[in-house]
Structure 1
Amino acid sequence: MLVNMPPRARTQKKLGSICELQTVSLKSPLGVIHISCCREGIHTIELKPDYKECGCGCVCADDQLKLFPECVSCVAWLKAYFKDPNSTHTLPLPYIHHPILQGGSWTACVLRTLQSKVCVGEVVSYAHLAQLAGRPRAARAVGGAMRKNPVPLLIPCHRVCLSSGVAGHYMGCRGDHLKLWLLEHEKNNTSQ
């Protein structure tokens, strides 16, 4: 059930050079996921929630010969994540080629810390993530970094919640339904 194939090609200027981008879309249990990548790596992941279309697994076209290798890797990683989040430990994480993560900014530091220190099935507060990233009093700034995350799921911003235990918003959506679904998905598969 491919949504958009063959991948669209376009160019985007990144870090002073021009990247030729491909975009591929696949259906997931949460809706359609759009992946944008170049030969160097993944640029963005966008989730378009659609609860009427929810199903099991993650479906993409079998003909992936035209896709860049990192895009194929990302599709495989996402399929594995939706089947069993723990299985992603055995897969290489697709390389992310987005300007936010190319430098030494606070946002890059927070996103890298989240990606490396908060595992499947774990939840961390904004304040605790600020502490892990080396600035214990920067919980609000962590929230800003989460809003700038270009590759949700690969960098698991859904695992960051309020200190009160409330999940909070996710990917600009009002309410916490997407975040709660992802956390429950990880919890159910972690306890098996």
Structure 2
Amino acid sequence: MALAGELSIQMIDILANLSTITKTGDSPTSNLISSPPSSPGARNLLNIIADLQCISFMGTTPIEHLLCFGLIGCCFRLHYGDEQIGEEYDEALQELEDTLGANGWPRSPQEQAKLQKKHLECLIWISVAGASALELSKSYPAASTVLDNTLKKYPKETSRWNTVEGILRKFLWNDFLAESWQKCWQRAMDRRSKAG
């Protein structure tokens, strides 16, 4: 994506910082994850969330816009672990759900098909990361439509955890996220089987 010119320099910088954080901190209590923004090699996750919100308002490419919200979800999960996200972030979570639940801003069917063909695995990662964060909010129902829509739209790629895990490992990943995301995926699969 970066080589194709689909990501801004700011996004590349954030991805580099988050890559360092996810590789060195396997739990939300890791010192690196909660480090102040001035510490070498790490940015405070809440500051990264604010940066991502700003980038999402700029004229970004469609995939960068959606990636902002997946990364916001990832940062929330890393920062809060399994604790509830405070009400002060309800607006950010609402925007995350609105954007990912509707697969981003309105696009023509041709643009959506092109985005899905080119970035299918990234879209799955974005959905899982976003849905996992929404589960931490007491203001949103546990049954997030974000992941449910993705499971419905891409059954071949999302019906088995081993396949999903293989996709997610291509992006930001660590053992803590893997455990959280697998539980989130399993709850969504359980909802599908009960509804089906």
Q: Tell me whether the two structures share a fold, i.e. TM-score over 0.5.
A: no
Q: TM-score range by the shorter chain?
A: 0.3 to 0.5
| Structure showing greater relative contact order (alpha-carbon pairs closer than 8 Å, 6 or more residues apart) | 2
TM-score (norm 1): 0.35
Q: Which has the higher helix share?
A: 2
TM-score (norm 2): 0.35
